[in-house]
Amino acid sequence: MSEKSTNPHHPWAPGAATGVGSMPGGDAREAAKTVTGSLEALPYLPELPARGPGADMIGRTAGMLAELYAHVEPSGWRISDRPGRDTRRARSWLGEDLDALEEFTQGHQGALKVSAVGPWTLAAALELRGGEVALSDPGACRDLTASLAEGVRAHLAEVRRRVPGAEVVLQLDEPSLTSVLRGSVRTASGYRTHAAVDRGVVEGALRTLVEAADGPVVVHSCAPAVPFGLLRRAGVAGISFDLSLLTEGEEEAIGEAVEGGTALLIGAVPGTDTPLSDPAGSVGGVRTLWRRLGLAPATLAESVVVTPSCGLAGASPGYARAALAHCVRAARSLADNPE
């Protein structure tokens, strides 16, 4: 049983660590055992993309959609008229992952994180019948957002049913969000780009997902230039990002987010095999950021969750285990020695 949160905005205790989502290999039980054994304060439902189409993040989320279906083409995932083999495979693997999570979370009380691809990264990846992505059609984007909201609502209800003591946190993976806002998502031909989507429309779709979740929502992006202000306005409880991609120009927005009660899930530990420094050294940049922002050191452990820089699918199994354990020790270091 994990320690209780002291912050009304999120259900995990101070000094927490977690992973981003993906793990190496294809064994759901082994992944769930590693994640739940390593991360007491904020365990999560692992993704195992090495299993192939349907276990990748786009296919996994496509399998959650309500009354929309998708299949694999050589160019990627494409909307279908009816559920086929690829949809069934995606749903089967998600069911297997949920079985494993349920097995290793017996008696769990507290925060538990699950992931889905957010509406804008999904719209930038999922093709319409003609081969162009849904992002090219505002009506298709609205339909996709509504279907995703309904699918996520059902998925979260299933997780709550299987793990009754869980306070479920939804993570929306939005690596393409900045490209959508900047108009840099390429068309199918590759010769031009789709128009930038209005920031109000982007914010509105994200708010639809926040409302559907009926609980805390975190948005993760491992891309540069995360739109912190827009995400806060959409009502997210936390923002997950890669510390190494942060620029000085974003620091003011981060300070405002912290002061407004938004949690920061900071990717401070490399996501692929590399020698790991001491845990305190891994979060030295977090302490430096806090000093530059003039934030009280005492707020560090409450505001920050330590994570790998991105998913661990590209790591070796041994490194993935070591990285999660390192995140836990680094988070404890921030709590024990915030200055």
Listing DSSP states for 256-314 in one string gives HHHHTT-EEEEEEE-SSS-----HHHHTHHHHHHHHHHT--GGGHHHHEEEEESS-STT
What tens-digit pLDDT sequence spans the chain (339 residues)? 445 555 556 889 999 999 999 999 999 999 999 999 999 999 999 999 999 999 999 999 999 999 999 999 999 999 998 999 999 999 999 999 999 999 999 999 999 999 999 999 999 999 999 899 999 999 999 999 999 999 999 999 999 999 999 999 999 999 999 999 999 999 988 889 999 999 999 999 999 999 999 999 999 998 999 999 999 999 999 999 999 999 888 989 999 999 999 999 999 999 999 999 899 899 999 999 999 999 999 899 999 999 999 999 999 999 999 999 999 999 999 999 877
pTM: 0.95
Helix (H, G, I), strand (E, B) or coil at 327: helix
DSSP tag of 180: H
Distance CA(96)–CA(107), nearest Å, equals: 20
Quickly tell me which residue has 């709590």 as its tokens: 335
Quickly tell me which residue has 């849904």 as its tokens: 134
